[in-house]
Amino acid sequence: MKISRIGRFAAIAAVGTIALTACGSDNATGDAGTGSSSAGTDVKGTLSGVGSSAQQAAMTQWQTDFQSDNSGANVQYSPDGSGAGRKAFLSGGANFAGSDAHLDDDEYSQAKDQCGPDGAMDIPVYVSPIAVAFNVKGVDSLNLDPATIAKIFKGEISTWNDPEIKKQNEEAKLPDTPINVVHRSDNSGTTENFTEYLSKASGGAWDKEPSGDWPSDFKGEANKGTSGVVSTTQSTDGAITYADESAVGDLSTAKVKDGDDYVEVSADSAAKAVEQSDKVQGRGEHDMSLELNRTPNDGSYPIVLVSYHVICSAYKDQETADLVKAFENYVVSEDGQKSAASAAKSAVLPESMREDAKKAIDSITTK
């Protein structure tokens, strides 16, 4: 897949403190959505989405905000996982997909069956770190480098007092408790982002291709969705998992080595990694699929996901098109991003990305 450098999103610094059914052709729609507020758009109907469980807290907030300002609108979202969301969208079973990975080349081509010749658009809506979260009695913090994380999740490091962990945590009282790896059972964009990071950053310690499906030959306990892996980890001494940082609750989280530093997980440190993102080539004018730099070496938190709303470039009727435009314009607006950051500890999208997203959303047409 070819990519091109689109430069660092310098506008991150300018936004202040980061708190982090079917589709068709090309008739223009009316002006729905201001991009700054959900109020006054006067849209109605039901909008259906399926996808990312990592987005769930942000989506719940967006739904509440949008529906309170648009009494005739109903936004439904089922957090069944990124893979399920893309599948539902491509089959015409949802108006949009929430996905922690952009459409791959095959999916992008398939989208033309539902969305017409201009296909679908991947719009970044949610930036968040993926935490390496653990539950080890008597251990509140850990430093872990990429190779060690890879070996833990492969099962090659099997106890918490292993020498590779001890040498990075000399002051920690590490027990001989067995490590219980907890991973997603469903096809997951979080898994795809996590395994892509391990593949690129671990110096060969992770020898599997990145995938939304956890490698079947690696041992571990599987559970569905973000809430599933977090719940299992919370109830199991010695457990470790990977999950959207907003959802890990009272679990401890590891500092991850980037360059010479061990970096604490936060929306701010994750947003720094997005500054070096690349745009995927060969897509439509308004598609915003990004290829993330997994080894930034600049003191940013490197295990980050950019989660998308996958939408059609054209919808079958005016009402649906206007509803999609109004909702998505609120999601990417400054107000929408700040509301999600408060609810989900995500990073506010840089202004430059919000402007590009609004242009893409406003380009939606009808048959």
**Dihedral, 321, 120, 94, 184 alpha carbons, nearest 10:** -140
Return the pLDDT at 41.
62
Question: What's the mean pLDDT in 160-176?
Answer: 97
- Determine how many CB atoms are found less than 10 A away from the CB of residue 365: 19
Q: How confident is the model at residue 2 (pLDDT cuts 50, 70, 90)?
A: very low
Least confident of 10-24, 37-51, 200-214, 240-254: 10-24
- The pLDDT, as a whole number, for residue 350 is 84
Question: pLDDT class for 139, splitting at 50, 70, 90?
Answer: very high
Alpha-carbon distance of 185 to 215, in angstroms, equals 10
What pLDDT shows up at residue 270?
A: 87
Output the pLDDT for position 118: 95
Check whether 15 has a pLDDT greater than 70.
no
Q: How far apart are CA 58 and CA 330, in angstroms?
A: 12
CA distance 115 to 89: 10
- Cα separation, 246 vs 280, in Å, equals 27
For 149, phi then psi, to 5°, come to -60, -45
Q: Is the pLDDT of residue 25 over 80?
A: no
Report the range of poorest mean pLDDT among 35-49, 75-89, 130-144: 35-49
Please report the pLDDT score of residue 269 as a whole number. Answer: 87
In angstroms, the CA 114 to CA 246 distance is 33
Least confident of 12-26, 44-58, 104-118, 225-239: 12-26
Q: Which of 131, 72, 78 is nearest to 303 (CA)?
A: 131
Top pLDDT among 319 and 42 is at: 319
Please say if the pLDDT value at position 222 is more than 80.
yes
How large is the average pLDDT for residues 227-248?
Answer: 96
In angstroms, the CA 280 to CA 284 distance is 10
pLDDT at 24 over 80: no
Span 266-277, mean pLDDT?
82
- Residue 299 is predicted with a pLDDT of 81
Question: Would you place residue 275 in the very low, low, confident or very high pLDDT band (cuts 50, 70, 90)?
Answer: confident
Outline where the chain has alpha helix (H).
Answer: 56-69, 82-90, 105-110, 112-115, 146-154, 163-166, 189-201, 225-234, 267-274, 318-332, 334-344, 351-362
What pLDDT is recorded for position 310? 98
pLDDT greater than 80 at residue 104: yes
| Mean pLDDT along residues 134-151 | 97
The CA distance from 247 to 345, in Å, is 9
Residue 35 and residue 12: Cα distance in Å, rounded?
A: 18
324 pLDDT more than 80: yes
Q: ∠ CA 97-99-100 to the nearest 5 degrees?
A: 170
Q: Is the per-residue pLDDT at 27 higher than 60?
A: no
The whole-number average pLDDT for the span 313-338 is: 97
